[in-house]
Chain A
Amino acid sequence: DTGVSQDPRHKITKRGQNVTFRCDPISEHNRLYWYRQTLGQGPEFLTYFQNEAQLEKSRLLSDRFSAERPKGSFSTLEIQRTEQGDSAMYLCASSLNGGTTGNTIYFGEGSWLTVV
């Protein structure tokens, strides 16, 4: 399968701990996106990369959140000092160039985070 893959699929952590999620996009895709989805809501944009450059960060991305894409391939999303409000599904997506031109954005299956 050559789709977007995310790891881990599920993570339970204690409040105050750090967590890291990994995303492997479709290999030829230069755009990589992170979204957050809470129960009953649509995905909310967090940040995106064009190759290794992080081009935009949402106001939702507090200073406890950091994302990297060091070689323009896989990406990591780290949450430091987790809070219960961070409990959500974190979705990664990738595309060839931007979605604004109608290019399809492909999503991974998401990483569920539960902060207890």
Chain B
Amino acid sequence: GNSVTQMEGPVTLSEEAFLTINCTYTATGYPSLFWYVQYPGEGLQLLLKATKADDKGSNKGFEATYRKETTSFHLEKGSVQVSDSAVYFCALPRDDKIIFGKGTRLHILP
């Protein structure tokens, strides 16, 4: 069945650094792909999504490109802020539900 694997954290960066969080997937066909973010003590929020191959999802300065050649959906941001400190989850559908990676904790230092 469909699955995702994302890089383990924690990832610690200084403010204004460039961010990449890797995510690779295994899937039948070309399902939608998602990144969700979880801020401390809160539930999950959809950060961005891509619904077909070669699409780029973007939101709040974050981007991810659906690359079928490398079965990847890496999350990137050019200049991170302290407020980006959170846990990020890569996700995709399996049957009629969304399944998540284990999450990558991001710490941004001022």
Contact = CB atoms under 8 A, between A and B. Distances in A.
Interface string A9-49: 00000000000000000000001010000001111010010
B82 interface: no
A98 B44 contact: no
Given A42-B101, A42-B102, A42-B103, A105 B46 contact: yes
B22 interface: no
Contacts of B96: 31, 48, 55-56, 98-100
A101 B103 contact: no
A54 to B, nearest CB: 12
Interface residues of B, number: 21
Interface residues of A, number: 26
Nearest to A45: B97
Interface string B21-47: 000000000011000100000111110
B14 interface: no
Contact of A99 (B42, B97, B101): B97
B95 interface: yes
Interface of B: 31-32, 36, 42-46, 49, 51, 89, 93, 95-103
Interface of A: 4, 6, 31, 33, 40-43, 45, 48, 55-56, 91, 93, 98-102, 104-110
